[in-house]
Amino acid sequence: MAFDKMELEDIEVWDGNFAAAQALRQSQVDVVAAYPITPSTPIVEGYAQFTADGYVEGEFVMVESEHAAMSACIGAAAAGGRVATATSSQGFALMVETLYQASGMRLPIVLNLVNRALAAPLNVNGDHSDMYLGRDSGWIQLDAYCPQDAYDLNFIAFKVSEDHDVRLPCMVNQDGFMTSHTAQGVHTLTDDEAYGFVGEFKPMNDMLDFEHPVTHGVQAEEDWHFEHKARQHNDLMTKVFPKIEAAFSEFEKLSGRKYNMVEKYDMDDADVCVVCMGSSVETAREVATEMRAQGIKAGVVGIRVIRPFPFFEIAEALKCVKAIAALDRSSPNGAPGMLFNEIAGSLFNTDTKAMLSGYVYGLGGRDLTKAHLVALFKELQANVDAGKITTPLQQFIGVRGPKLAYL
């Protein structure tokens, strides 16, 4: 079968979906098993076209559901090779059972999760409900803020996930539509550079090694289940961070682009800051800069690695700030938001006296405007000026009707 390399411009105009599809092609994935769903469909379509045009040597399997997609990915990964897929929202929800199986079986798989709201009401637009749904599934989870990140983080995902000390699947999140369908300039790697970075797949416990039969997916009840789960958690907490750091630094050498567990923006002397994820990070950075012109020392912290959660890096990034807003783009449905809780946990045993408030925003693709963020930074500054939190701990941004505020 013909397998051709592709000539790319140094900078291509790609949306997040196409950037991810190109990264999968350049990583020479052995098996992509997938099922289309808005807004991740163009990743699968793009990859299908690469296959049809002879740029893919691996297998491309269009299955009958997202559950089957991840099931086939698990079978393929256990057989021993590079595996990837893409999905969003309801499809991701359908996959959830198998997500835990993939990670529990310690299989490297890369999943591009193009973030979208979860029904009901049915909604195709971007929020982080699906991302939050998967957060306890035992996967490594990276977050892209723009198409460039979506491209780069796929290479990093393969590198970390397939490392024999890690052997855990990895999600690359990007915002539905805001990132997935918004074309921007993307600095490319050549096919050889990209494949050189991810490297040849090195099998481990591969079913296709007939001289060494292996049993995958055993039963382990109260006598052994806990040890498996504890070891998986231990590896997430202790082994993954150094591998991600190493991959970030190697990628910087290759591309000049530096990623960090926690992306700090103007945080050195910030009094107030927001912590957020996805495309909102870029909006927040722009507004923070504008706030400084108005005399408010604003900063932004973006979470790059959602799982394992960079507990100490977050505390370090926030140690000098006076007021923090945690921005959650998923309905907490009866609790403070996930980011609020994680940040509170990171800071609790430190000396920081920072005030922490939570904001829920952007559900179902509702815009987070610069005006929203200006008001938010001013609210944080008011807290700093008053020396205490002057607003409820949990507020909703940009929702119709009377202002929603709790706690």
- Taking CB under 8 A as the criterion, the residue among 48, 63, 374, 382 binding another protein is 63
Based on the shown chain and the rule CB under 8 A, indicate whether residue 73 belongs to the binding site for another protein.
yes
Q: How far is the CB of 220 from another protein (least distance, A)?
A: 4
Query: And the tokens for 103?
Result: 């990670």
Rounded to whole angstroms, how far apart are CA atoms 273 and 82? 40
- Residue 374 binds another protein, judged by CB under 8 A: no
Contact status: 222 vs another protein (CB under 8 A): no
The Cα-based distances of 210 to 77, 206, 213, 364 in angstroms read: 16, 9, 6, 49
Please report whether residue 72 would count as binding another protein according to CB under 8 A: yes
Q: Is 254 in the site for another protein (CB under 8 A)?
A: no
Collect contacts of 200-205 with beta carbons under 8 A, ≥24 apart.
Answer: 201/30, 201/80, 201/81, 201/82, 201/162, 202/162, 202/164, 203/80, 203/81, 204/80, 204/164, 204/167, 205/78, 205/80
CB of 106 to another protein, least distance (A): 13
> Please, which residues have CB within 8 angstroms of residue 211's CB and are 6 or more apart in sequence?
none
Helix H or strand E encompassing 367: none
CB 137 within 8 A of CB 151: no
The CA–CA distances, whole Å, from 257 to 7, 51, 186, 284 equal 21, 29, 12, 20
**Can you tell me which of 2, 7, 121, 211 binds another protein, judged by CB under 8 A?**
211
Q: Could you tell me how many residues of this chain bind another protein (CB under 8 A)? A: 48
Q: Which residues pair with 300 in a beta bridge?
A: 265, 274
Asked if 36 touches another protein (CB under 8 A), the answer is: no
Residue 37's closest CA among 119, 105, 97, 104? 119
Cα–Cα dist 377/274, whole Å: 8
> Which region, judged by CB under 8 A, interacts with another protein, from 71-79, 136-144, 161-169, 283-291?
71-79
**Residue (86 or 338) nearer to another protein, CB:** 86
- Smallest gap, in angstroms, from Cβ of residue 56 to another protein? 10
Shortest separation between residue 211's beta carbon and another protein, angstroms: 7
Q: Tell me: does residue 350 bind another protein (CB under 8 A).
A: no
Residues 77-106 that bind another protein (CB under 8 A): 77-81, 83, 97-98, 101, 105
What is the nearest approach in angstroms of another protein to the Cβ of residue 72?
4
Instruction: Confirm if 110 and 87 have CB atoms less than 8 A apart.
Output: no
CB of 97 to another protein, least distance (A): 6
Instruction: For residue 325, give Cα distances in angstroms to 132, 312, 315, 328, 377.
Output: 18, 18, 14, 10, 8
Nearer to another protein, 33 or 262 (CB): 33
The binder of another protein chosen from 20, 33, 140, 284 (CB under 8 A): 33
Give least dist CB 95 to another protein, A.
11
User: What minimum distance in Å lies between the beta carbon of 147 and another protein?
Assistant: 28
Q: Which CB, 230 or 405, lies closer to another protein?
A: 230
Cβ-based nearer residue to another protein, 68 or 325: 68
Q: Does 164 bind another protein (CB under 8 A)?
A: no
Using the rule CB under 8 A, which residue among 209, 252, 269, 385 binds another protein? 209
Three-class SS state of 227? helix
Beta bridge partners of 60: 32
Cβ–Cβ under 8 Å, residues 144 and 282: no
Binding-site member from 7, 218, 351, 400 for another protein (CB under 8 A): 218
Give the C-alpha separation, 355 to 142, whole Å: 27
Q: What is the contact surface with another protein in residues (CB under 8 A)?
A: 1, 30-31, 33, 57-59, 61-65, 67-68, 71-81, 83, 97-98, 101, 105, 203, 206-211, 213-221, 224, 228
